[in-house]
Amino acid sequence: MYLYLDMKFYKTFLTLVVLCNAMISCSQKKLVSTQINFMQPYCGGARPTPEIIADAEKAKPYANKTIVIVSAKGKIDSAKTNDAGVLSIKLKVGTYKLFEAWRFYKKATGGLVLSDFDGECLKNEWKKEIKEIVVTKKENKISEKNEIIEICPSNLPCVLESRRPPARE
């Protein structure tokens, strides 16, 4: 009789330990770090030198900028990149999308106001995430989605023609 109760207790105890470990590992956060860069095309009016063009084609760190993190469940968080453009944040197991703050908060860019833009075009711009992060127990998978491009004021997407600044010649 005692042996039967001891085995039953032992099995129940082991089941509880396994369940507790599973719950703890699911609720734990893992540190995720990723480099965030941006491109900045040449916007000057003079014919650029090859060095200027080469510099414009290099990715630059998206330093000290706010990134909005949205979980698959709709939970929203934000974090700032460091001086080198690295974003480090602790995340639970799940899928996350990263956005530039202006896109997530549905704002205008380039110092303009929303009425200066085509609304339908802007809706498509706001949907563009930078990266997708999938955190599992074993690894973090980071997928590049859309580049951040600091666009010249004369080439901003979605700007109404009547509001577009004149292009340099």
C-alpha–C-alpha distance, residues 46 and 154, integer Å: 15
Give the residue ranges of the chain where pLDDT is below 70.
Answer: 1-27, 165-169
At 45 the pLDDT is 78
Residue-level length of the chain: 169
pLDDT in tens, 139-148: 999 999 999 9
* 13 SS3 class: helix
At 94 the pLDDT is 97
At 169 the pLDDT is 52
pTM score, whole prediction: 0.78
Asked whether 162 and 52 are in contact (CB, 8 A), the reply is: no
- The CATH number corresponding to 28-157 among 2.60.40, 3.40.30, 3.10.620, 2.40.50 equals 2.60.40
At 121 the pLDDT is 93
What residue ranges do the domains of the chain occupy?
A: 28-157
At 165 the pLDDT is 63
